Amino acid sequence: MKVLFLNGPNLNLLGTREPEVYGRTTLADIEASVRARATELNIEIGFRQSNVEGELVSWIQEAKGQFDVIVINAAAYTHTSIALRDAISAVGIPTIEIHLSNIHAREEFRHKSLIAPVCRGQICGFGQKSYILGLESAVYVNETKK
C-alpha cells in the first residue's frame, strides 16, 4: 500500500509560523513521524510540499496508478481552489483532508472547504497528530475502497 501526503502553501514554514497556533514542529519533523508510523504499518509514503496551486494539481494527477490513497493538507488552497477539487475528483484516488488546526474554530473564511465534498473524510485540530490519524484513516479507506 502506498500513500501520498501533499502539503499546500506556507506549510514549509512550519515551526516558525504563528507557533501559538501550530507549535514549533517543522514539516520535516512531521514527515519523519509519518514515515516512522508508516514503516510499522508497512506502508510506502510520498511526502511533498508546494506553494504553487498548479503544482499540487499536477502531483495529484501524477498520483494516478502510483498511490492508493492521498492525504492532503491543502492549507490556504483548501478554501479557494476549485482546481484541486477537480483534480481529486478526476483521478478518482480516495483522498483524505487534514489540517493542523481546527479550521472550524478560526476565521469564518476558513470554515468552508472546497475540496471536502470530493474527499472521503476530514480530520482537523490535532496538530502533527492529524497526519498520523490521516495515515491510519488511509488504511481504513483503502480497505473499504468502493
State the residues that interact with its own copies by CB under 8 A. 8-10, 12-13, 16-18, 50-55, 57-58, 61, 64, 75-77, 79-83, 85-87, 89-91, 96, 102, 104-105, 109-114, 116-127, 129-130, 133, 136-137, 140-141, 144
- Give least dist CB 9 to its own copies, A: 4
Q: Is 104 a catalytic residue?
A: no
Cβ-proximal residues to 23 (8 Å cutoff; 6+ apart), any chain: 15, 127, 128
Find cell 502531483 and name the residue: 59
Measured from the CB atom, the residue of 45 and 56 that comes closer to its own copies is 56
Q: Would you say 73 and 99 are in contact if contact means Cβ atoms under 8 Å apart? A: yes
Q: Is 22 a catalytic residue?
A: yes
Give the angle 74-27-141 at the CA atoms, nearest 5°.
50
